[in-house]
Structure 1
């Protein structure tokens, strides 16, 4: 599932502001002199700080249904953010009432069933999801790296430092107990290999840490599922009907980049992380055929610049089904034996169906004689 979408983010923001304003207006004394106008108004302005920042960086596409819903709300917030301290309680209440009304109207519009998003809106949301998931992936081990660094320093100064990490507390303890892992194991899984310096040369045994490989593999699974299960359908709807008035289907939305993501994910999930299906990738080319898929952080970072904006904007093309499956159930053991035999004699994936077809064709010809 996707991390979020822009409509939900703005729905949350308007609901949050409206709930806080309702509380202020309900409990605020109406008598003059009983309200500290400056501190109260400053507090209101601080509440609006985050949604106003979002208005600058998470701006809806101009003219979109979302923009029409939230622009009056954003304007009303900006009026209060730019205003000086009110001269009276009545003026403060007037300000808050205007903003409360604007937030309520925005909530009503956001709850209405909206028309399909534009192609650009869907692509921008997907690109944002793509970037944020990569950010989370690339920083996932930061706390562990920091902890192991602290443990190494503490261990050097005090050999009595605990050799086990208590996961729930993120503390080092001296003995194993439920919920602990050996620090030496974590250290090993985060190691990128030793380096040895001599007066004349440097020997480096470089490898991608095992925990990095695990987290990166999870990202390929996540982003593939997000593309397949969410954004292909949304892009198909956003592109509207074809010239004959027929809606596009998810399989009509194609992307070489995300197909290569699919092949890497398949190798990770079904080939023990060994590069087989992804060996012929043309865009994501750092996986070596027959070798473990072990991207470096630098290689993962290159994906940020590879998001296929232009490909996703292209008009879809109809996918015709040109393959089918034989309609009979066969014993699993026999199917496994056939698959292993085909893999052995045909290293190239795209040639394997031809191998099976040739064998069946030969069998059928023999039976006709």
Structure 2
């Protein structure tokens, strides 16, 4: 099997970043659509704040199958722009992207360049990794030890919550040194 070139890996990385940002955009915009739908529901006066059942299948019988439920007012509040659900989606995007960079693309790029593991570094991706640590191990709160050490993504200051927005995430493609990733030079063993 022929080895892949750095240009091949960079092309796939660009595609992955673009598609994952597009998915994040569609998800966050979908939240607003869902919020609008919930706001249009006219509740029965005897139950002005009914539970919103989130589930699968047809909601029949007294106990329809569902995996979560929230009072309507709580769901509408959490679905607001820059609300809790959007925050979680942004945090999950950071965690997922960091895993893909660290466990797939960086390894492939290092192999394509013939350099040792962890030789290739991208400041913006390193900053995401610092945020990821605070998301996973610090309940999403920026710390001085991690997010406070970001080199280029100065989006959050300790001790504030890490709440990535689409405009912030949308900056990433312009902060990646695409030509350097493709051409190097990177240290060889």
Q: Report if TM-score (shorter chain) is over 0.5.
A: yes
Q: Structure 2, unaligned stretches of length 5 or more?
A: none
CA deviation string 1:136-176 (max 9, x = no partner)? 122214334223212212327x6578823332359899x87
SS in 2 for 1:155: coil
Structure with more relative contact order (C-alpha pairs < 8 Å, separation 6 or more): 2
1:41-80 aligned within 5 A: none
Which of 208, 217, 221 is the equivalent residue of 2:95?
221
* Aligned CA distance change for structure 1 residues 303 and 172 (closer, same or farther; 3 Å): farther
Q: Is the 2:35–2:80 Cα contact (8 Å) retained in structure 1?
A: no
Partners of 2:179 and 2:99 lie apart in 1 by 21
Once the 2 structures are TM-superposed, how far is the Cα of residue 178 of structure 1 from its aligned partner?
4.6
Which structure 2 residues correspond to residues 195-214 of structure 1 after superposition, within 5 A?
208-214=82-88
Q: TM-score, normalised by structure 2?
A: 0.82
More helix by share: 1
Tell me how far apart the structure 2 counterparts of residues 172 and 147 of structure 1 sit (CA, whole Å). Answer: 18
Specify which of 4, 26, 32 is matched with residue 139 of structure 1: 26
Selected match of 1:121 from 8, 12, 24: 8
- Which whole-Å CA distance do the structure 1 matches of 2:18 and 2:141 have between them? 26
* Superimposed CA distance per residue, residues 230-251 of structure 1 (whole angstroms, 9 cap, x where no aligned partner): 11221122114xxxxxxx2222
Q: 1:165 to 1:171 in 2, by over 3 A?
A: farther
For the Cα contact (< 8 Å) 2:134–2:141, is it kept in 1?
Answer: yes
Residue in structure 2 matching 1:271, options 125, 130, 138: 138
Question: Paired residue for 1:239, among 98, 113, 116?
Answer: 113
User: Unaligned 5+ residue runs, structure 1?
Assistant: 1-112, 193-207, 241-247, 320-369
User: After superposition, where does 1:80-95 map in structure 2 within 5 Å?
Assistant: none
SS of 2:141's partner is coil
Q: 2:178 is matched with which residue?
A: 309
| Displacement of 1:288 | 1.2
CA distance in 2, matches of 1:299, 1:254: 20
| Alignment RMSD (CA, Å) | 2.8
Structure 2 Cα separation of the partners of residues 289 and 146 of structure 1: 32
Distance 2:95 2:187 in 1: 26
Distance in 2 between the 1:171 and 1:165 partners? 14
Relative to structure 1, the CA distance from residue 308 to residue 253 in structure 2 (aligned partners, 3 Å threshold; closer, same or farther) is: same
Partner Cα distance (1:254, 1:268) in 2: 21
Deviation at 1:318, TM superposition (A): 5.4
Pairs aligned (count): 182
User: What is the alpha-carbon distance in structure 2 between the residues aligned to residue 282 and residue 232 of structure 1?
Assistant: 19
- Per the alignment, residue 149 of structure 2 pairs with 280
Distance in 1 of aligned mates of 2:170 and 2:178 = 17
| CA drift at 1:186 | 1.7
Q: Could you tell me how far 1:265 is from its partner in structure 2?
A: 0.4
CA distance in 2, matches of 1:283, 1:219: 18
Which structure's CA Rg is the greater one?
Answer: 1
Equivalent-residue separation in structure 1 for 2:147 and 2:35 (angstroms): 34
What secondary structure is seen at the aligned counterpart in 2 of 1:167? strand
